[in-house]
Copies of this chain bind each other. A is one copy, B any other.
Amino acid sequence: MSMDAVFRALADPTRRQLLDSLHARNGQTLNALCGEMDMTRQAVTKHLAVLEEANLVTTLRRGREKEHYLNPVPINEIAERWIGKFERGRLDALSNLKKRLEREEP
């Protein structure tokens, strides 16, 4: 559940779409998820493996089907540990930048 794996997993639009799909309807099987994607089942499998490695998706084998569940915890950890840091400095940074750009003479 390294933070790097989460960032990498989120970098791909197809994978974010998969998370969106699971957010809309949790517990979908591989085949169900493939229905919405315009690529082969094997490609989707690979994307899901990346999401699983990042701990963003948990799977549950039920008979011959595999259900996929969204795990929002890593996303929240990123939000709290990483994004929060930049958020704090937001207004300051903006006003500093503005000032800097205004006294624009070398």
Contact = CB atoms under 8 A, between A and B. Distances in A.
A86 B100 CA distance: 37
B93 A72 contact: yes
A19 interface: yes
A37 interface: no
Interface residues of A, number: 38
A89 to B, nearest CB: 6
A73 B78 CA distance: 16
Interface in A48-96: 58, 60, 62-63, 69-73, 75-76, 78-79, 82-83, 85-87, 89-90, 93-94, 96
Complex copy number for this chain: 2
A34 to B, nearest CB: 21
A30 interface: no
B86 A70 contact: yes
Contacts of A73: 90, 94
B13 A93 contact: no
